[in-house]
Chain A
Amino acid sequence: MKKRTLVISSILLMVFIGMQISSCSSQRAMIANKTGAQLWAENCQRCHTTPSPNTFNDQQWEAVGMHMQIRANLTPEEIAKVVEFLQSANQD
């Protein structure tokens, strides 16, 4: 019984993923146009309070970015935007 539920739910999941893949280009554009500020606000708080952009210098943010990309399995596009945003708060 449980096995059947599992099979059915995995099929549903695959169908859902298929639907997502073929989703329309305006949605893709919406995702592609997300800013670093948005992604910073949405993703950091999934686990911890959001860090202030003036916490680290540019090099340190690079290390933090890679650490968090791996830990939270963020996409490279997401983390690149977030790190760039955080660095842009460091004045020259």
Chain B
Amino acid sequence: MKKSILILPALLFVFIGYSFHTSQQGRWIAPASADQLSNPYKGNTWAAGAGKKIFNVQCAACHGEQGKGDGIVAVSLTPPPANLQSAFTKTESDGAIYWKITAGNAPMPSYKLALKDPERWQLVTYIRELQNK
């Protein structure tokens, strides 16, 4: 009788084990044309500083203060927020990152209207600084 009760937790663990996939489905890739865009603030420390301020209020909730994709709401999101310090993001061009901030990809919003054009480039500049830390 007692054994039958143990079946339930066992079932549960099988189910949880099954449901846990590190889903590496299709990556979000910016169009090749985005790579042509050039960052007007490349290497500009003032712009990186301005970008940091924007990053902390607009991006950190999901991407985390260090951009590692570990913000306080990250666990709620599918696909999960990108790790901006990952090898993949490091290989992306400034233009590609700018394009992604502009376009958005649900659950990530589009920042085309919420942020001005220079602000989005300042963000890109700050993300580069984070990666080089």
Contact = CB atoms under 8 A, between A and B. Distances in A.
Nearest to A37: B61
Interface residues of B, number: 20
Interface of B: 57-59, 61-62, 71-73, 75-78, 104, 106-110, 113-114
B120 to A, nearest CB: 14
A54 B106 contact: yes
A28 interface: no
Nearest to B112: A88
Given A38-B61, A52-B77, A88 B113 contact: yes
A54 B62 CA distance: 14
Contacts of A52: 76-78, 107
Contacts of B109: 53, 85, 88-89
Contacts of B108: 89
A40 B61 contact: yes
